[in-house]
Chains A and B, each alone.
Chain A
């Protein structure tokens, strides 16, 4: 079974630029999550989707971060404009709807803002 795919693996941008990350969850997983992992900290949930609807985005900085999952499969997370403090690893995870079983993390995208 293929895992959660994320791209790119690494990204370096200047502050005030825009960046987008892509996630392809495990086939059949209705629930998708984006986490932010700052160096030296544990991952923090940014947003949770159930199919193409948002379940929880209470910790998403909506002035600069946005995410979508238009067809209920792939998802993109965008930052516009980026700040230095956005430097982190962005992890995508997916699970089966309801039970949450099969919760699987992707390898993440490491973002460096300079």
Chain B
């Protein structure tokens, strides 16, 4: 079945450092891929998504490119801020809008220190 594997944390970075969180997927078809962020005490918020190969999703300085050849969707940000501290989840869905269900990775906790 479909599944997502993401880099284990926790990750601790200094402010303005470069961030990469790795994510790979397995799927029988061509899923849509998502990154969700969960701030402390809050629900999941959609950060960005890509619905087909070579698509790049971007939001708030974060980017991820759908790589079919490596079945990956790594999250990157060139300069992290303290406010980026949160748990990041990679997810896949067989619907561009996640209309059925999401398959989530285990989450990667990011702490950014001043």
Q: Do they bind each other?
A: yes
Instruction: List the interface of chain A (C-beta within 8 A of B).
Output: 3-4, 31, 33, 40-45, 48, 56, 91, 93, 95, 98-103, 105-108
Q: How many Å lie between the Cα of A1 and that of B44 in the bound state?
A: 17
B99 surroundings in chain A (CB, below 8 A): 31, 95, 98-101, 103
Known: A100-B95, A103-B97, A105-B45. A43 touches B106 (CB 8 A): no
Known: A105-B43, A107-B43. A45 touches B101 (CB 8 A): yes
Using CB atoms, name the residue of chain A closest to B95. Answer: A100
Q: Are B102 and A107 in contact (CB under 8 A)?
A: no
Flag whether B107 is at the interface (Cβ < 8 A). yes
- The SS class assigned to the B binding surface is loop
Q: Are A100 and B107 in contact (CB under 8 A)?
A: no
Number of A-B contacts (CB under 8 A): 59
B43 surroundings in chain A (CB, below 8 A): 3-4, 91, 105-108
Q: Which 6 A-B pairs have the closest CB atoms?
A: A100-B99, A42-B104, A100-B97, A105-B43, A105-B44, A107-B43
Instruction: List the interface of chain B (C-beta within 8 A of A).
Output: 4, 36, 41-46, 89, 91, 93, 95-102, 104-107
- In the complex, what's the smallest C-beta–C-beta distance from B98 to chain A, in angstroms? 5
B44 surroundings in chain A (CB, below 8 A): 43, 91, 93, 105
Interface centre among A33, A40, A43, A45, by most chain B C-beta atoms within 10 angstroms, is: A43
Using CB atoms, name the residue of chain A closest to B91. Answer: A42
B41 surroundings in chain A (CB, below 8 A): 107
- In the complex, what's the smallest C-beta–C-beta distance from B99 to chain A, in angstroms? 2
